[in-house]
Structure 1
Amino acid sequence: MINILGAILSGLIIGALARFFYPGAVEMGWIATILLGIGGSLLAGLATSRGRGDFHRAGCLASVIGAIVLILVGRLVGVGG
């Protein structure tokens, strides 16, 4: 239970930071922000593990960059205006 709460809290912080640093307005609610942060952290973790079997969580900066990349990809494919 504590791990789920930690993922939600860190997802909210990472997602909010990614929305803040992304140039332009990013319109989304709190749940979408949490999911963005969690997704950005997972993306950064996959990128930093480089296909090895041992998956480790990425740091805060890498997670924010991963979330920004997710915003950019979402904009390129037309999700979220």
Structure 2
Amino acid sequence: MTHRIFEGWHSHGRRVAVATKVSNADWARLPHCRSVMLAEGGKLFFTGKACKRGHVSPRNEHGDCTQCHLMRLAERRDAF
């Protein structure tokens, strides 16, 4: 296991508070940015910031919100 570069107390505290507010404290354990996620070989990272549609959820390697991604998949499924 490698150690991550610490993002700072303010950012860390905000991410943990947001993760516990949405009742998923495991999200706070995800990397805080895309570059750290790629260095660790992961698939998701969590910034704690809302996407342009207002979802606060982890993001994938392309920076897309996972909730928006699920909504797009549902729209495609329902289109047929």
> Shorter chain as normaliser: what TM range?
0.3 to 0.5
- Quick check: which has more Rg, 1 or 2? 2
Higher relative contact order (CA 8 A, sep 6+): 1
Bigger share in strand:
2
Question: What TM-score comes out, normalization by structure 1 length?
Answer: 0.34
Q: Which has the higher helix share?
A: 1
